[in-house]
Amino acid sequence: MIIDEDQYLVHYGTKRHSGRYAWGSGGNEEGSGTQRNPSLLDFVSEMRARGLTDKEIADGMGLSTTELRARRSIALAEKKQSEIAMAQRLRDKGYSHQAIADRMGLAGESSVRALLVPGAEDRAKVLTSTADMLQRVVDEKTYVDVGLGSELYVGSGISKEKLGAAVAILQEKGYELHTVPVLQPGTGKETKVKVLAPPGTTWGDVRRNQDNIKSITEFSEDGGRSYNGIKPPLAIKPNRVAINYKEDGGDQADGVIYLRPGVDDLSLGGKMYAQVRVQVGPDHYLKGMAMYKDDLPAGTDIVFNTNKSSTGNKLDAMKKLERDEEGNVDPDLPFGSIVRQILDKPGHPDAKPTSAMNLVNDEEDWAKWNKSLSSQMLSKQSPALAKSQLGLTYDRRKTEFDDIMALTNPTVKKTLLEEFAGGTDSAAVHLKAAALPRQATHVILPLSTIKPTEIYAPGYNNGEKVVLIRYPHGGTFEIPELTVNNKNREGRKHLGSDARVAVGIHADVAKHLSGADFDGDTVLVIPNVKGPRGIKTSPALEGLKDFDPHSYKIPDGSPIPRMKKERLQQEMGLISNLITDMTIQGASHDQLARAVKHSMVVIDSVKHGLNYKQSAQDNGIAALKEQYQGSKRGGAATLISKKKRELRQPETRLRRQSEGGPIDPKTGARVFVPTGRTFKSRTGEVVTKKEVVNLLDRTSDAHLLSSGTPMEKLYADHSNKLKSLANEARLAAVKTPTLKYSPSANKTYNKEVSSILGKLALAERNAPRERQAIVIANAKVRAKRIAKPDLEDSQITKIRFQALEEARLSVGAGKPKIYLEQDEWDAIQAGAISDNRLSRILRHADVDRVRELATPRRENLMTTNTTARALQMLASGYTRSEVASRLGVSLTTLDNATTATTQ
């Protein structure tokens, strides 16, 4: 219904108008019983009576619905305070309850008693007192986070709506409310932070001072404790370390750190092996894979193996600790990597390291690594294998979609559909394929007694053939095929008969693996089968035999320019893309050898000062780029190499609901529209704001990025099918109705509802803490970058990750996931939780647990007797693979059963 001014005229104020009666000067004049002017409350009531929705009313007043609700809350609070004051005055004059009701136009005596009940006046003033508190906080801290969850730290009885109304009161006084994006350390995504600031503060002011954004409730920036960096590491004296140089055979175990067993300060925390960093003396450290060894020389506790030659000073074989510009050891990243320390009192502020072994990765870490097949690997195999694994990937996602569509709870269904659509969009870009049977990632360690054609791998059947794949690799010529030998005594002794993630190989195999070493390098181990779906391997390229990239070393004092650190990643990307494009387009072995040789020079050019430009010239890289990429300058030419390409374009956003919605109602595709945002450059020029997006993500048909090869067609079809499935999920989510709330179920499941809401409150209390942690972490990262402007991207990523973890500890933030029990799920299914609350619950819920409850599947569990038999076989020396085969279960089932039993 449209009301024209001739039909209805009211004074309701203007948006952001100041003054006590911004929305009309009405109110009950004592003694009159009538209002002089219609108030905001009357106006809204009148419009609702005429059939307008709150959104239509808000639009007509130039407000958002949130602003309208806030201002209505203010009006209600002022009205309540006015009524209480009048009722008290009339009572003081001797009026009876009924007389007061008649005078004020109230329903009856009960309404008057409610106004005069003790504490009513204090409750009515909650809004104004909250606004007063906010004003004090902003005046003190300048930039204050008032986003979701902040109300939980204000005081009892404060809802997010009341906090919003209190913010609106301050806006009426001229205080500014701005929403600024704050980068999440480590993810590249942004968190929107709603900030209240003093009058006159601009959006740019807040953005430039985002390091100073504080919370309503002050969180101690050290939680009463100090979490600044890691604990000072234990340092090993150099005289306890021996170096096994190349001339002594150290190149056969390059990167391995042998430890004397039973030495307390060399403990690996119960592990048989781990990737570590070990400080030696005040200035150096060892980097590599640590494992125990019995026959170390007398007086030596550590032996470090290296492919370097002796200089006469053992410290030259080690790395120097990271230092700041003032020469002090970096307290956060002394080893350039994030480490876990073995402490006497884990989690305690006074904890101290008990071992010099600073862990980077151990078997628990490697076991969690992704088990899919990357396009970089699979695209270099047969089309039959690629088609098979890509088909499995799509089928699994389609099955998941069908399972979600079968759900009966609409809110859960809608949430899982939206989450599924996002994940499927991502899969359409990353192009990873389903893993092959029993494939897994393993860390490699050297065994001197195993043959170059064998591998010690207890997770696989003795005698079977497996292939080893290292990322990145140039082609099938860098994929060795080995025979499993789990009877090797050296392997059983040093890695264990039940080794889950470590495999033992001969040093020659590492050379076959595109120059791998043993300082923590990992490989994908895949049981190989014969036929078109097997993994293709080929002999090492003749052109690579005896090639030494160090032949391109720039002599000391030479004027030849050296590659800078910041250029290394770019050059490696260019040559990797070239090798991928050449392989897909059928380049000859000789051509591939030229490209691979150049890649070997590039990867070591910064570390060892190699002349990569001369290498490019000698290997004819420009000619290869022109032939396979269409230009001497190169550039990704196939879908596989283009999938990571970024596109810089004018900034966009998802289309708003008022503009037609973010989803195309016919196709389900996301709809992006330009933001039109601009900014002034330093020269004063108005510039359109740009953004960086993934090219494949924003390309509707993946075939447009293909050069036309059969392998690319397989991947383009797969990407398009996934995008179509994601669109289908979005359409289904849009059409899913809201949950029907059942008051009777709410009463029946009162205990379960209370439990769920308690978990929700705990999860939502974390939101402002997490935002504060992000602000603190960003400030630390920014300071680190200013102090060390030459930091590499990989180092910055590590710093961001560690800074955020420390900041979370300092403010008490975490990411508490809501774990739903079966009876709580039953309450949800019965409608005991409203749609709005359930949406908030699912936002913080353990999604895997929700899927488990919503789509229950039977698990192939082992019985108690079978588990006992498995443990006995493992104790007797059988490998995990042999036990699983004998019992007829998968390795995963075996691991789950035996791990649960031994914990």
**What pLDDT is recorded for position 34?**
35
For 275-298, letters b (16+ CB in 10 Å) and e give bbbbbbeeebbbbbbbbbeeebee
User: What is the CA 230 to chain-centroid distance, rounded?
Assistant: 22
Q: Tell me the two tokens of residue 483.
A: 């025979």
Backbone angles phi and psi of 274, in degrees to 5: -165, 155
Alpha helices in 431-544 (DSSP H): 489-494, 507-512
Q: What residues are paired with 319 via a beta bridge? A: 285
The set of residues, in sequence order, having a beta carbon less than 8 Å from that of 312 and lying 6+ positions away, is: none
| Residues in Cβ contact with 276 at an 8 Å cutoff, skipping those fewer than 6 apart | 257, 268, 286, 287, 288, 289, 290, 339, 357, 358, 359, 360
- Give the 3-state secondary structure percentages of the chain, helix then strand then coil, rounded to 5: 45, 15, 40
How many Å apart are CA 503 and CA 14, to the nearest integer?
A: 73
> What distance in Å separates the CA atoms of residue 581 and residue 641, rounded to the nearest whole number?
7
Identity (one letter) of the amino acid at 421?
A: A
Is residue 780 within 8 A of residue 803, CB to CB? The reply is yes
DSSP E strand stretches across 38-167: 144-145
Residue 461 sits at φ, ψ, to 5 deg, of -75, 135
Spatial distance between the Cα atoms of 283 and 715, rounded to a whole number of angstroms: 50
Q: Which residue has the tokens 């300092």?
A: 810
Q: Are 838 and 412 in contact (CB under 8 A)?
A: yes
CA distance 183 to 189: 6
Unique residue bearing structure tokens 């031994």: 902
**Is residue 753 within 8 Å of residue 820, measured between CB atoms?**
no
Which one, of 766, 774, 772, 761, lies nearest residue 840 by Cα? Answer: 761
Query: DSSP letter string over 286-327?
Result: EEEEEEE-S-PPTT-SEEEE-SSPP-S-GGGGSEEPPB-TTS
Q: State how far the Cα of 366 lies from the Cα of 359, in Å rounded to an integer.
A: 13
The structure tokens listed for 808 are 């979370």
CB 596 within 8 A of CB 541: yes
10-residue mean pLDDT profile of the chain (903 residues): values are 33 38 40 44 76 78 71 71 76 80 76 68 64 83 81 62 78 84 71 86 84 68 42 93 94 94 92 93 95 91 94 94 80 82 80 92 77 88 92 91 90 92 94 89 93 94 93 87 95 85 93 84 90 84 85 91 85 90 92 92 88 95 95 90 91 90 93 89 86 92 95 96 97 92 93 92 80 76 68 71 74 79 93 91 88 69 76 74 74 75 51
3-state secondary structure at position 878: coil
Query: Would you give the DSSP letter of residue 504?
Result: E
Q: Please list the residues that pair with 144 across neighbouring strands.
A: 196, 214
* Residues facing 519 on adjacent strands: none
AA letter at 4: D
Residues 333 and 801: their CA atoms lie apart, in Å, by: 11
| Identity of residue 561 | P
Residues 6+ apart with CB under 8 A from 437: 527
* C-alpha count within 13 angstroms, C-beta hemisphere, residue 223: 18
Q: What is the 3-state secondary structure (H, E, C) of 117-150?
A: CCCHHHHHCHHHHHHHHHHHHHHHHCCEECCCCH
Rg (alpha carbons) of the chain, rounded to whole number: 34
